[in-house]
A and B are shown apart, each in its own frame.
Chain A
Amino acid sequence: MGSRYLLRRIFHAILTIAGIVVLNFILFRAMPGSPERLSHNPNQSAAARADLRARWGLDQPLIPDQFIRYVSTTLQGDFGQSYKYKGQDVTAVIANRVWPTVILFGLGELIAIAVGLVLGAYSGWKRGGVVDYAGNGVSLILYSMPYFLLGMILLVIFATALGWFPTAGMFTLGETYSSFADQLLDFVHHLILPLAAVSLGLIGQYSILMRSSIIETRSEDYVTTARAKGINESRVLRNHAVPNALLPTVSLIGINLGFIIAGAITVEVVFSWPGLGTLTQEALEARDYPVLQAIFLILAVTVVVANLVADLVYARLDPRVRT
């Protein structure tokens, strides 16, 4: 891979992250109220308040002193203290919530990519067939449906009415497990419904994109050539059409991450899944700005990095973009 291309991409990603940090700083200062009101003490003397301001560095000029301080603490992973969880560091509050989200959405993405790509490739190849019509219709509806609505519908059918799955949480409350296997089983039992909501919600997008991508490649000359050489249909699809049609989906996976975050937040709320999504909603309700800002920073940086990786993978797969 051209190292100049690589360097330029990485440089852009770093610039973007710097922009996000600056934006975060500005937003933090734009929010109403002032931090020293946090102590909620009307009898606080002016001297005590000034003391507090000095301790938090609020008596220093916004730029550059406060900004430098903000950047350096952020780089150290220190986002201050949560308003809602009094006395807890934001980093600690968030750390507990990361892995449920990573498991739920990591698995959801994988399932959606696998199923969506296969479904899209097949229906695009057999255009106008039964699978194409049914698959396309279902994909369009799933694509138009907010993830959380899908979750609420799955919940009322499979948890409330049929009672096959628990309605909320990640583990059964107050349960003591005799073995790790039992605990894992309980976890999987809780995971299935939210996972289904996430993957079903995502399948639509991947399948629609893959379908149109396959339709586009189907009329390319090299596919005609492969057919003319007498290679059978399924091999033409697998070895000639699919690898080329996969390209656009690589960038979609990167871009998508930014959008599935919206889904992540809401699906977790529906199933009370104790991840970053429910944390975001709690923080919104309590107007817990430090937590919100940290979540924004983490998610934004994740998305930028994911896009960078997608770009690099794309360049690896398609030499034409390496300029």
Chain B
Amino acid sequence: MSVTPATARPPGVWALRFASMTSFLGRLIRRPEGFVGVAIIVFFAVLAIAPALFVGPLETVTSASGKRLEPPSSTHLLGTDNLGRDVLNLTVHGARISMLIGFLATIVTLVIGAVLGIVSGFVGGRTDTVIMRITDFFLVLPTFVLALIIAPIVLDIIGTGEILGIRTTLFVIVIVIGITSWATTARIIRSQTMSVKERAFIDRARVIGSGPWRMMRVHILPNVTGLIVANAVLIFAGAILTETTLAFIGLGDPFAPSWGQILGASQDAGAPGLGAWWWYVPPGICIVLVVLAFTLIGGALDDLLNPKARRRR
């Protein structure tokens, strides 16, 4: 494919895929819950891409703009935290960290899950048995607790620093979420792969001499992509929740505050006992909205992709 992309595929295949994708997206946002979900995600994606545009640079201990624990007022719409930082500022910047970790963790999860699922389903035999044993193991394991234990170990080994301008602590969280949550994806992709494998075009590809890797890449992958995307929505929601919980109990990065990190800091400072609800309710609402949005999109996708569910409406 890298040599002559123009002849490797029939011309216009990407245009076709793009067209079908946009029409699918159109059908998705015509459903009320799909529309609400997509609107919320777009809103937070915009915040995540350019937080400084809306609230200026991230406030730190030295650049805090208010006094400590000010309740909401006209100067600080959502009040301030115990260091005098504006909560609105923190929350909007938190969108960037939370969404970024959620996005990257989803990609890591999907790559591991899809590769193992496709290989397991396509190759079959002993490979399948081994991969599925490991998958079952990870399915039963309380993965959150595993993440809890792996995260500090990896953090202590790697230490702090930056990779590609992103702090390593965030990468550790991403990787830990990835290696602890791929199992359901692998299961789903495997069963779809096994059904695609039985179709006639796979036999044809084999007859003309395609190798297994090429068949998996060119013939199986495009046919399970829809499922991967549908799964991504749920994985994203789960990743946001896992990150929030990990950060809440102290595995976040205080210098790159995610929503969970803000919640954790407010808990550590005893905000609920002090009545400083403005400190943790805004990031909390953001988390609920994002997870809710993904759940709504997931439901809408399920209705669109699953004819049985559609009939029940």
A binds B: yes
Chain A residues proximal to chain B, CB less than 8 Å: 12, 16, 19-20, 23, 27, 30-33, 140-141, 143-146, 148-149, 152-153, 155-156, 159-161, 167-168, 215-216, 219, 257-259, 261-262, 265-266, 269-270, 280-281, 284-285, 287, 289, 292-293, 295-296, 299-300, 303-304, 307
Q: Indicate if the CB atoms of A144 and B275 lie closer than 8 Å.
A: no
Is B277 engaged at the interface, CB distance under 8 Å to the other chain? Answer: yes
A160 to B136, CA, bound (A): 45
A140 to B36, CA, bound (A): 14
Mask of B244-280 contacts with A, CB within 8 angstroms, 1/0: 1100111100000000100100110001111101001
Given contacts A149-B263, A149-B280, A266-B245, whether A32 and B157 have CB atoms under 8 Å apart is yes
Is B71 engaged at the interface, CB distance under 8 Å to the other chain? Answer: no
Within 8 A of A (CB), among B1-33: none
Chain B residues proximal to chain A, CB less than 8 Å: 136-137, 140-146, 148-150, 152-153, 156-157, 237, 241-242, 244-245, 248-251, 260, 263, 266-267, 271-275, 277, 280-281, 284, 287-288, 291-292, 295-296, 312
Which A residues are CB-close (under 8 A) to B267?
148, 152, 269-270
The listed residue with most A CB atoms (<10 A of its CB), out of B145, B150, B156, B248, is B145
A287 to B284, CA, bound (A): 28
A12 to B245, CA, bound (A): 30
Which B residues are CB-close (under 8 A) to A280?
148, 249
Which B residues are CB-close (under 8 A) to A145?
284, 287-288, 291
B140 partner, pick from A152, A215, A258, beta carbons under 8 A: A258
Smallest beta-carbon distance A223→chain B, Å:
14
Q: Indicate if the CB atoms of B295 and A266 lie closer than 8 Å.
A: no
Which A residues are CB-close (under 8 A) to B241?
146
Top 4 A-B pairs, shortest CB-CB distance:
A144-B291, A258-B142, A262-B144, A155-B272
Q: Indicate if the CB atoms of B145 and A261 lie closer than 8 Å.
A: yes
Given contacts A16-B140, A20-B141, A149-B263, whether A270 and B288 have CB atoms under 8 Å apart is no
Q: Indicate if the CB atoms of A141 and B152 lie closer than 8 Å.
A: no
A32 partner, pick from B144, B156, B260, beta carbons under 8 A: B156
A258 partner, pick from B143, B152, B291, beta carbons under 8 A: B143
Smallest beta-carbon distance B257→chain A, Å:
16
Q: Is the interface of A mostly helix, strand, loop or mixed?
A: helix
Smallest beta-carbon distance A114→chain B, Å:
24
Given contacts A141-B288, A152-B280, A265-B249, whether A296 and B272 have CB atoms under 8 Å apart is no
Given contacts A27-B153, A144-B288, A270-B267, whether A300 and B141 have CB atoms under 8 Å apart is yes
Which B residues are CB-close (under 8 A) to A146?
241, 244-245, 248, 260, 263, 284, 287
Q: Indicate if the CB atoms of A307 and B140 lie closer than 8 Å.
A: yes
Given contacts A296-B149, A299-B145, whether A155 and B273 have CB atoms under 8 Å apart is yes
Q: Indicate if the CB atoms of A300 and B145 lie closer than 8 Å.
A: yes
Q: Indicate if the CB atoms of A284 and B248 lie closer than 8 Å.
A: no
A296 to B275, CA, bound (A): 34
Which A residues are CB-close (under 8 A) to B144?
258-259, 261-262
Smallest beta-carbon distance A106→chain B, Å:
17
Q: Indicate if the CB atoms of A296 and B145 lie closer than 8 Å.
A: yes
Q: Indicate if the CB atoms of B245 and A299 lie closer than 8 Å.
A: no
Name B281's closest neighbour in chain A (CB-CB).
A153
The listed residue with most B CB atoms (<10 A of its CB), out of A32, A289, A307, is A32
Which A residues are CB-close (under 8 A) to B153?
27, 30-32, 289
Q: Indicate if the CB atoms of A304 and B249 lie closer than 8 Å.
A: no
A149 partner, pick from B136, B242, B287, B292, beta carbons under 8 A: B287
The listed residue with most A CB atoms (<10 A of its CB), out of B144, B267, B272, B280, is B272
Name A33's closest neighbour in chain B (CB-CB).
B156
A307 to B136, CA, bound (A): 12
Q: Indicate if the CB atoms of B280 and A287 lie closer than 8 Å.
A: no
Which A residues are CB-close (under 8 A) to B249?
265-266, 269, 280-281, 284
Name A280's closest neighbour in chain B (CB-CB).
B148
A284 partner, pick from B242, B250, B277, B292, beta carbons under 8 A: B250
Q: Indicate if the CB atoms of B273 and A168 lie closer than 8 Å.
A: yes
Q: Indicate if the CB atoms of B272 and A167 lie closer than 8 Å.
A: yes
Name A208's closest neighbour in chain B (CB-CB).
B295
Smallest beta-carbon distance B269→chain A, Å:
12
